[in-house]
């Protein structure tokens, strides 16, 4: 917790300052959202690259950005990770890590053809959606995948059953949907979407396809939902909301949108505190702060320090959920770590 934080679970609008009936300067404060930052899937993916570098030595190749965060990628590059777009850029026989967003089956096949040592850091919650896609495709369903065109997670999921999956990119795309049998249709979704917009898309789909089935459990991940929920709670009291995250991070971009939709007067996405413009804070008394699920906490602390230097030294952490979920490292990496430990013990 930030040293100046005090915790709260309830919004408490603060009236302008008064002292013996005299109007004083309005109190400047920060509402700090919790949960924020790293989710279990991101933590697992970043640890995977870090442990692979320790175990195998540099370089370790990573297909796509391991997570969508500029700072995380540059930090891992400095330690010896090499980020590539496709498997053919990886020298034959080398180690390659697949990103948290998941890959299509053909990517695994390409790795085998090049004799690559592949470590799959796909978030288990994304893997769950892949399994759903395969199961419904095997039962010959038409699958409506709600997500953003071109996003790596969508590409990976669609690759599990391309003949059965069609993308629905938001509510306005619903009219383009064509299915073979309206009685045999199911929707799935990208895990990092806006909860409200996804439900609006589903509602519109159901007006056209009343027999549309839902996934067995929510596809939007717990971390995305939790971060959106707390932003909704604090946004009505905020003159401006600052979300720490990269522009290619879907869940970070959604946080700004959710904040604005919930009543924040302004919202901005930044990678670093240095990107905050003083004019954003002009006239503001309450600033909301959160971060996307791929953002390390030290970047948030730098934002709080930046705000404190500009008079926003009072920080109240507003908590709506506690997150304790963790995921184990990929089994292929754990196996090699265990073997290496056994070899050291034997020497």
The residues annotated with a catalytic role in the active site are 153
Binding-site entries:
39, 68, 101, 123, 151, 191, 221, 249-251, 294
Task: Give which of 289, 326, 268 is closest to 2, Cα–Cα.
Answer: 289
β-strand pairing of 18-19 with 22-23: antiparallel
Judged by DSSP in three states, 304 sits in helix
The answer to whether residues 256 and 246 touch, using CB atoms and an 8 Å cutoff, is no
Residue 13: partners with Cβ closer than 8 Å, 6 or more residues away:
237
Strand partners, 19: 22
Residue 345: partners with Cβ closer than 8 Å, 6 or more residues away:
none
The token duo for 46 is 């970043």
Binding-site entries for isopentenyl diphosphate:
68, 101, 151, 249-251, 294
Judged by DSSP in three states, 81 sits in strand
Strand partners, 6: 316
Binding-site entries for [4Fe-4S] cluster:
39, 123, 221
Q: How far is Cα 13 from Cα 238, in angstroms, rounded to an integer?
A: 10
Binding-site entries for dimethylallyl diphosphate:
68, 101, 151, 249-251, 294
- Roughly what angle, to the nearest 10 degrees, separates helices 40-56 and 70-79? 10
């Amino acid at each position: 917790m930030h040293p100046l934080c005090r915790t709260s679970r309830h919004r408490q609008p603060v009236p302008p300052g008064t002292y013996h009936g005299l109007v004083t300067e309005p109190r400047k404060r920060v509402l700090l959202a919790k949960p924020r930052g790293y989710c279990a899937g991101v933590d697992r993916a970043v640890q995977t690259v870090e442990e692979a570098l320790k175990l195998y030595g540099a370089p370790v190749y990573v297909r796509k950005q391991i997570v969508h965060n500029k700072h995380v990628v540059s930090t891992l590059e400095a330690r010896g990770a090499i980020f590539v777009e496709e498997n053919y850029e990886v020298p034959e026989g080398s180690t390659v890590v697949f990103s948290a967003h998941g890959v299509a089956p053909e990517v695994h096949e390409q790795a085998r053809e090049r004799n690559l040592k592949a470590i799959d850091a796909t978030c288990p919650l994304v893997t769950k959606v892949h399994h759903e896609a395969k199961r419904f495709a095997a039962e010959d369903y038409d699958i409506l995948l709600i997500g953003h065109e071109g996003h790596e997670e969508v590409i990976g999921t669609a690759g599990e059953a391309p003949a059965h999956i069609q993308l629905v990119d938001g509510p306005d795309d619903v009219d383009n949907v064509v299915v073979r049998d309206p009685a045999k249709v199911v929707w799935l979704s990208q895990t990092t979407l806006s909860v409200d917009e996804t439900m609006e898309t589903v509602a519109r789909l159901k007006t056209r396809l009343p027999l549309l089935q839902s996934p067995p459990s929510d596809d939007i991940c717990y971390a995305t939902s939790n971060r959106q929920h707390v932003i909704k709670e604090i946004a009505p009291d905020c003159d401006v909301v600052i979300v720490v995250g990269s522009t290619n991070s879907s869940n970070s971009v959604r946080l700004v949108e959710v904040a604005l939709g919930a009543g924040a007067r302004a919202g901005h996405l930044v990678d670093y505190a240095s990107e905050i413009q003083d004019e954003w804070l002009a006239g503001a008394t309450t600033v909301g702060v959160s971060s996307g699920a791929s953002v390390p906490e030290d970047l948030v602390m730098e934002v709080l320090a930046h705000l404190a230097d500009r008079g926003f030294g009072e920080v109240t952490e507003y908590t709506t959920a506690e997150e304790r979920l963790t995921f184990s490292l990929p089994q292929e990496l754990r196996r090699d770590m265990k073997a290496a430990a056994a070899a050291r013990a034997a020497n």
